[in-house]
Structure 1
Amino acid sequence: MFRFLFLFAEPNLSQDFYRFIWDGELIKNGINPYLFLPNTLIEQPDLAIANAKQLHLGMGDLSARHFSNYPPLNQIIFAISSFLGGGSILGSLIIMRLFIISADLGILYFGKKLIQNIGNSNHLAFWYFLNPLVITELTGNLHFEGVMLFFFVWSLYLISMNKYKLAAPIYALSILLKLVPILFLPLFLKHFGFKKSIVFYSLIGITCIACLLPFYSSEFIDNYSQTVGLWFSNFEFNASVYNLVKKIGVLCFEIKPWELVKSYGSLIPKVVIAIALLLTFLRKNQNLETLLSSILILLSSYYFLSSTVHPWYIIFLLILGVFTNYRFPIVWSASVILSYYAYSNSDFKENLWLITIEYCLVLGYLGHEVFKNHNIISRFRKKFNLN
């Protein structure tokens, strides 16, 4: 019911939907969205795109001067929504929301089954399904993390049923919606063993290539990698470690913030890859629960280190927390609301005190869970014979 309250509403905390519809309209008219800038196309007098001026103005200057960064399956959903929306912005929004609501129902269905296969109570799935952040950011603000998570959870359920060949192309669909699941691929090496992993990775690769082919051209890779690279080196929002590094760098070493974000952004992928390799070879990922906790650790590390952590990013951690013994993502899904303060300012200026409170709550509860889940205090007492 809460999800359907948003059905006819225009998102008011995100303008991304204008770009979604723009890309969908391009595909509907036979134009590859990866090859043309909105700022270039809008100057064409014969541009046959419904509501072109409104969409171009609504998406904002930053989006309009860059190539599309949304993966192919996202683009297909945009095109279907634009086609069924009949050239109406509201009509397209309704179709997109129906995709997202359906995905959430799918997550609830397969999530409960996966939880049962792990051996936990399946009511835990409602920690995701009834979470206000999920309802507001996915259905309300029209982010497609939920559709990506539907395929991700579905593939994990199939893996729990030892149907890894069927799980692989479905896992690939989650990558084709958002690139984040690529991070976790090395972790499956121990879970499947070498031979099965080769099959799993090959099927994922074949599926991704097949879906990329309709959009492929000689300029596609350069344009897409250039746009995706911006997120690592040009933006900062709701960061934890990065804000601390920036504060120290500016005060102690007089580093320019705009120079720091670029060098810091180029370093983070290397650190995250190193963490992924450590988790791959040092943890016993043969067990599905351990594998899921490794994924949670890797993604959490990435978000703690990242210079940009939008509120809807936490939703991925939230679903992973449901499948493990960690509940700090639930705390984060509540405290991340503090980052919304930036939206109240015309220049989107952040309040670092509010961000500090947010991360103190999250890291404090995470520390509590690490001690509790690993019985660190009990082990310490036992080791030193303390009563």
Structure 2
Amino acid sequence: MVLISIGFYGSFAYDLDRSDFIKLITLSLGLFFLCYKIIQFEKWNFKFLIVAGILFRLVFFVVSPNLSQDFFRFIWDGELVRQGFNPYLFTPNELMAQGNLVIANAQELHMGMGELSAKHFSNYPPLNQVLFALAAALGGKSILGSIMVMRAIIICADLGILYFGIKLLKHLNRSSYLIFWYFLNPLVIIELTGNLHFEGVMLFFFMVAIYFTAKKKWQWGGVFYAFAILTKLVPLIFLPLFLKHYGIKKSLIFYFIIGGAVLVFTLPFFTMDFIANYSATIGLWFSNFEFNASIYNIIKYVGLQFDVPAYEMIKVYGKVIPFIIITVVLVFTFLRNNKNTSGLIVSMLWILSCYYFLATTVHPWYIIFLVILAIFTEFRFPLVWSFTVILSYWAYSNALFQESLLILSIEYILVYGFLIYELITLNNKNLLFCKN
């Protein structure tokens, strides 16, 4: 089964166009089935599973991503930082128009990143930019060389998640093999190692932070939590939960440590234009972009029946959603105890799930954060979502990149259906709003 999986990953890496939806979904279905059976048969043979997971990742090592073009922008930003330029002050289009760039492979990188990325400022946090610069510096002015360096970083991060994940599972008296639902998950391997998304690096820092939190080493937890935020902003959403986890005094010091670390990494990039450009770019995710949405698509469909323009719909929706998410965060902050690590992680799972259910943009690699959180809880609907989210790639099977409401309905009916099933069968209100 491992050999067959390697063959499937090889086909994914070297012989798949993302417009070939039938082949993409068939390979994904086969890989998820094989992942399930491998874990089922060998769940206590850790050496075997670790070697298998590493081999699956190495299949992608010397090939360019074929499901995402974001890596072109990663290398572009890395080249800028490596040469002392601030990637937050100019869009790629503005720099190309100047005509005096000294970026290696500038034309190829600019064309590869696509029109949407090229006309916007960078939205990747400072520590991510440092990693991009490292890849550009060690890549030898070669796009493939930079890709290989980024892959090495992401694979090392996954190995770190495996190590600290096992330690945290043991600390919580949960079965250690559960971490392999992350380490061998095809979505994780394809989207992180294959497509070079840095969620895995962020999750490594996040996992270390939660481990130190569980071991009462909260000062170190604050440092690594800051590193997670500096790689991807998503962990910011969980910060209020620590108020009841640590108490007022410790939580304030915890926030101070995080703020200090974030400030240190941000200062080299800081200007007033940085604040304006970065804020504007982040705001676009709420009010301009849409992909693989669930609740938003339902609201948009209803609105269209009443002749409400889609562009007006997303702007209004984008302004309302942040307030709804803030309300959800406050509910889980003050209605749950969150003092023990298990309760804290369950709150995180529900907050992030609500955010993605409401979001206008849910790329497949976003679900990986839910997968790692679910491993430490009783819930498994994120594992179902980690497969069904592949259906969102239907949009790339046509020249206009149009989504199919039928395909999206299948994805979310399966996810919501399994979630409801779990809530009914687990039959335990403590999973949501307990005081314990």
Q: Normalization by structure 1: what TM-score?
A: 0.96
Deviation at 1:44, TM superposition (A): 2.6
Give 3-state SS (helix, strand or coil) of 2:231's partner. Answer: coil
Q: Give 1:347's aligned amino acid.
A: L
Mapped to 1, the partners of 2:336 and 2:426 lie a distance apart of 16
Give 3-state SS (helix, strand or coil) of 2:213's partner. Answer: helix
Deviation at 1:46, TM superposition (A): 2.5
* Aligned partner of 2:81 among 14, 27, 31: 27
Aligned positions of 1:218-233 closer than 5 A: 218-233=272-287
Mapped to 1, the partners of 2:215 and 2:301 lie a distance apart of 48
* Aligned partner of 2:175 among 100, 117, 121: 121
2:323 corresponds to which residue?
A: 270
Mapped to 2, the partners of 1:170 and 1:332 lie a distance apart of 28
* Aligned partner of 1:293 among 332, 343, 346: 346
Aligned positions of 1:328-343 closer than 5 A: 328-343=381-396
2:34 corresponds to which residue?
A: none
Mapped to 1, the partners of 2:353 and 2:428 lie a distance apart of 21
In the alignment, structure 1 residue 359 sits paired with structure 2 residue 412: yes
Aligned positions of 1:293-312 closer than 5 A: 293-312=346-365
2:47 corresponds to which residue?
A: none
Structure 2 alignment gaps of length 5 or more: 1-54, 430-436
In the alignment, structure 1 residue 199 sits paired with structure 2 residue 232: no
Q: Normalization by structure 2: what TM-score?
A: 0.85
2:403 corresponds to which residue?
A: 350
In the alignment, structure 1 residue 89 sits paired with structure 2 residue 143: yes
1:242 corresponds to which residue?
A: 296
2:211 corresponds to which residue?
A: 157
The CA deviation string for residues 161-190 of structure 1, in whole angstroms up to 9 with x for no partner, is 000011101000000011000000001111
Mapped to 1, the partners of 2:99 and 2:323 lie a distance apart of 45
Give 3-state SS (helix, strand or coil) of 1:254's partner. Answer: coil
1:70 corresponds to which residue?
A: 124
Deviation at 1:152, TM superposition (A): 0.3
Mapped to 2, the partners of 1:372 and 1:199 lie a distance apart of 40
Deviation at 1:61, TM superposition (A): 1.1
Mapped to 2, the partners of 1:329 and 1:101 lie a distance apart of 22
Change (3 A) 1:293 1:28: same
Q: Give 2:166's aligned amino acid.
A: K
User: Where do 4+ consecutive residues of structure 1 move more than 4 Å?
Assistant: none
The CA deviation string for residues 88-144 of structure 1, in whole angstroms up to 9 with x for no partner, is 000000000000000000000000111111110111000000000000000001100
- Kept after mapping to 2: 8 A contact 1:13/1:343: no
The CA deviation string for residues 229-268 of structure 1, in whole angstroms up to 9 with x for no partner, is 10111011111100100011111x2110011011101111
1:382 corresponds to which residue?
A: none
Q: Give 1:123's aligned amino acid.
A: Y
In the alignment, structure 1 residue 6 sits paired with structure 2 residue 78: no
1:322 corresponds to which residue?
A: 375
Structure 1 alignment gaps of length 5 or more: 377-387
Mapped to 1, the partners of 2:272 and 2:355 lie a distance apart of 31
